[in-house]
Amino acid sequence: MCLLNTVDAVIMLSMPVQITIRGVPEHVRDELAVRAASQRQSMQEYLRCELERIAARPSLDAWLRGVRERKEAAGTRVGPSRILRARDADRT
């Protein structure tokens, strides 16, 4: 019985979910339909691929957090005065 529950849980975890988005402006829907057609995809297929692409990338907050962590780990910092001097040197 325990094995059956485990198999059921694995199957349930891998089942796709349905997402409904209400209130999408008509011009947005039309643009998405054009993009889907240009890729020779259904709207559902196109949007699923776009959602997978978005989910595969880190959010802006996560990306910035990673940059800050790498900067801190490297122990380097460029001060504002050095940045301004470099900028001004390039202008002359």
What is the predicted pLDDT for the residue at 1? Answer: 46
Tokens of 5: 């529950």
- Closest of 49, 51, 53, 26 to residue 38, by C-alpha: 49
> Mean pLDDT for each 10-residue chunk of the chain (92 residues)?
56 76 97 97 96 95 92 85 90 77
3-state secondary structure of 17: coil
Give CA 66 to chain center in angstroms.
15
* 53 in Cβ contact with 35 (< 8 Å): no
What is the predicted pLDDT for the residue at 7? Answer: 57
Sequence-ordered list of residues with C-beta below 8 angstroms from that of 33, at least 6 positions apart, any chain: 43
What is the predicted pLDDT for the residue at 56? Answer: 95
**pTM metric for this prediction:** 0.60
What is the predicted pLDDT for the residue at 71? Answer: 86
